[in-house]
Structure 1
Amino acid sequence: MRLVLLGPPGAGKGTQAYKLSQILAIPQLSTGDMLRAAVAEGTEIGRHAADIMQRGELVPDELVVELIAERIAQSDAARGFILDGFPRTVAQAERLDHVLNGHEIDGVLELKVDEQHLLDRILGRAMQARESGEAVRADDNEEALSVRLTAYANQTKPLTDYYAAKGLLRTVDASQPVDRVTAALVEAIE
């Protein structure tokens, strides 16, 4: 099963993708995690992406598509995968269709959450990281969230129309408790 998880920053895509990957026994492919790892490892893609990510802006399509193409070609993704954070634009979705080489996305799950709830989550995540002595993500602040939400509205939100037109879009209220959201997502893909 090949799934795409859509939603604004802080909607719980990472949490839900992880839970679904455990339930469905397919890998979670988080472009955010993959990009942060590339930055930490100092790869060419990571060096290029670091400044862009620090500002809360979107990494260029070419870099993200290259990461995804390499990852979905690995053997553990042969049965399927959950894309978390990709595609972010209609152009990326079209490139994904090409990278899939004739295979199709089986479903697109959109997590909906209002902006105040998102801000509360992002700031709470940053506070938890500080309290536990972990590094706070550079984009876990109100200013970066504002930039990311604007980018989401302008660039990513049109994906809902793109996938709805293909009959693949299912929307879930992600302001519910985590386990209820997971149950709603499982129900949406069955």
Structure 2
Amino acid sequence: MDYTEVLEYWFGDDEKPKTGDVLKSMWFGNDKDLDRQIRDQFLPYVSMAGEGKLSLWLTSPQGTLAVIILLDQFSRRIYRGLSAAFRYDEFALAVCKRGMAEGQDQQLPIIQRVFFYMPLQHSEHMEDQEEALFLFSQLCNFASQEDAGLYENIFRRARNNFDVIKRFGRFPSRNAFLGRLSTEEELQWLSGKGAGMVP
């Protein structure tokens, strides 16, 4: 397998284009069948990426993006509901930052840049959240009028994550999965607005 299989699965290709609704459901939905499909098709490659065995992919923007998707997106679906869902977050963040330092993100279409930057949005460090918010606001400015709603929704998600980290310094919705004790304030938030939100 090479990185194009990851990208074609996640974004579609010219021969088998996926509709916008299908893609949005894939990217932001909670579908057990999709989780199973990704596990069956990509689990070995998620493990290889996590062990640093796909380093050759990192020489191109597309290859770097594929590694980020394996570590940051597919891992969340394969291990949904388990602490392992966040196992590769720091590695994905490092790959993202290295790619940005090399200008790889600037060579990608803006929809692919959304997922290049996702490790920043998933970080529990405030400086990463600030950078994510800035980058996603930029993507809104670059979006076509037709796609404006999608990018505004993505920016709102980034803003929500930013607000949570600013308030709590972490994502309380991860506490149960990671064996962390929640504060009273976090428990109140989790019982209301934060219910079901696990970035």
TM-score, normalization by structure 2 = 0.35
Q: Which has the bigger relative contact order, CA under 8 A and spacing at least 6?
A: 1
TM-score, normalization by structure 1 = 0.36
| The structure with more helix, counted as a fraction of residues | 2
| The structure with more strand, counted as a fraction of residues | 1
